[in-house]
Amino acid sequence: MSFNKVSVIGLGYIGLPTAAMFASRKIGVIGVDVSEFAVNTINRGQIHIVEPDLDMIVKAAVSEGFLRATTTPEAADAFLIAVPTPFKDNHQPDLSYIQKAALSIAPVLEKGNLVILESTSPVGTTEKLAQWLSEARPDLSFPHQIGEDADINIAYCPERVLPGKVVKELVENDRVIGGMTSVCSERSVALYKTFLMGECVITNARTAEMAKLTENASRDVSIAFANELSIICDKLNIDVWELIALANRHPRVNILQPGPGVGGHCIAVDPWFIVSSTPEEAKLIALSREINDGKPQWVLEKVQAKLAQHLMENPEKTAGDVKIACFGISFKPDIDDLRESPALQITKEIASTHPGKILIVEPNINTLPESLGDNCSLETLQSAVSQADIAVVLVDHREFKEHAFELPENSKLIDTKGIWK
């Protein structure tokens, strides 16, 4: 059952911290990534992603010789696959990264190896993985062929860590272990228990795949409810934040918070994997995706309406004179991650249509993405507050919540996070 060498395929937001965790328990780890930049950065003891505390752990793991990165897979006792599973234009899952990872490890697989898929995946992907591996290595036997006695063990064990708290949650969260056989599950538990303090809960691979999708779809549906409430309340002239706080005093009600939409690379993507397998049945899940994806457009319409109102009240001005300040462009508070960010999407849209200046406040970054045009500038909080004709709060960063701000007289506020109401 012991694992002397573990290989992690995909050194991104999940793979790298996981590799570092094994290495911190003095297990030799070979990290594999297609990006030479990522591999070189890690081999220097540095990290190419932003995640609190990860830099120290990687630095120690590399300098003590327990973590090494490479672009070509090598033999190991266990392989963990943590590559992206995006969706294609039609919301169908793109499994090509998993397939490529499988084909890349197939030549170095040896009898007795354990292969774990961690990437968020539609139901049935672990079975596909077993099929791809068995086609590439007909000399080895696999669980879908002969069950418990297979040469290679395969399991699906989803990651469930929260970006920004990965190092803590990787160790503390319970882990769902979906082995293709009970031997596959037992070996996976033994591997994770080398660093895990949380519990390992065993199920089958299909249920484990669906569990991961269900967790994120559940959060998406709950946020869609909050977002729908915010639109209803706006029409009925009710403060949605007060309303939710009141309703949440009920012992069995726990409504989440509305916002400018749902971002990130998980919650806005994973529910589509349920919809793609069962399009007729997954009605609420699909509608929730549409409600959350529609929220940025609703915010943009609010900005347009406030702009028109401001121009009516200030007839000496043209639209080019109006400064719009956007507070926050990351996908959620207190991180620098701009991927799939509704706040960035809204800001870009404003910047591409508004003839005046766009003042952007994002305390977690030093330079604006190039995709934002020349009319955008990165400002300090104070500077943007003092100049804004229209202030659009898009992210509830700590810095924004800590102070009460006086916007200039006559300026308009659109607060999608309810912090400056």
Q: Which positions touch ligand SAJ (CB under 6 A)? A: 120, 159-163, 215-216, 219, 223, 256-257, 259, 262-264, 266-267, 331-332
Other beta carbons less than 10 A from residue 165's beta carbon: 14
Distance (Å, whole) CA 106 – CA 290 = 39
Closest distance between ligand SAJ and the C-beta of residue 165, in Å? 9
Q: In the complex, what is the shortest distance from the CB of residue 208 to ligand SAJ, in angstroms, rounded to a whole number?
A: 14
- 3 state SS of 375: coil
Cβ pair 224, 288 in contact under 8 A: yes
Decide whether 45 or 369 has the Cβ nearer to ligand SAJ. Answer: 369
**Distances 296 to 131, 149, 247, 275, 292 between C-alpha atoms, Å:** 41, 53, 25, 22, 8
By beta-carbon proximity to ligand SAJ, the closer residue of 83 and 130 is 83
* Least spacing, CB of residue 293 vs ligand SAJ, in Å: 12
Return the SS3 of 369. Answer: coil
Residue nearest to ligand SAJ (CB): 266
φ, ψ for residue 104, nearest 5 deg: -75, -30
Is 223 or 285 the residue whose CB approaches ligand SAJ more closely?
Answer: 223
Q: How far apart are CA 4 and CA 13, in angstroms?
A: 24
Cβ neighbors of 71 (< 8 A, separation 6 or more) are: 32, 33, 34, 35, 36, 39
Q: Which is nearer to ligand SAJ, 119 or 411 (CB)?
A: 119
Place of tokens 């190419």: 48
Compute the least distance from the CB of residue 288 to ligand SAJ, in Å.
12
Task: Of 11, 39, 6, give the one whose Cα is nearest residue 101.
Answer: 11
Q: Known catalytic residue: 184?
A: no
Residue pair 188/157 in contact by the 8 Å Cβ criterion:
yes
Rg for the chain (alpha carbons), in Å? 24
Q: Which of 212, 332, 348, 412 is catalytic?
A: 212
Smallest distance, ligand SAJ to C-beta of residue 20, A: 17
The one catalytic residue among 157, 184, 200, 266: 266
Question: Is residue 22 left, alpha or beta, with left meaning phi > 0 and alpha meaning psi from -120 to 50?
Answer: alpha
**In contact, 35 and 72? CB cutoff 8 Å:** no
Closest CA to 113 of 79, 137, 149: 79
We find the least distance from the C-beta atom of residue 374 to ligand SAJ, in angstroms, to be 27
Which C-beta is closer to ligand SAJ: that of 257 or that of 375? 257
Nearer to ligand SAJ, 343 or 358 (CB): 343
Q: Closer to ligand SAJ at the Cβ: 131 or 276? A: 276
266 carries an active-site annotation: yes
- Whether residue 21 contacts residue 136, with contact meaning beta carbons closer than 8 Å, is answered with no
Provide the minimum distance between the beta carbon of 57 and ligand SAJ in the complex, in angstroms, as a whole number.
Answer: 19
d(CA 267, CA 182): 30
- State the nearest-atom distance from the C-beta of 321 to ligand SAJ, in Å: 32
The string of DSSP codes covering 8-74 is EE--STTHHHHHHHHHHTT-EEEEE-S-HHHHHHHHTT--SS--TTHHHHHHHHHHTTSEEEESS--
Distance (Å, rounded) from C-alpha 155 to C-alpha 277?
21
Comparison of 144 and 332: residue with beta carbon closer to ligand SAJ: 332
Which of 64, 75, 82 shows the shortest CA–CA distance to 30?
75
Catalytic site residues?
A: 212, 266
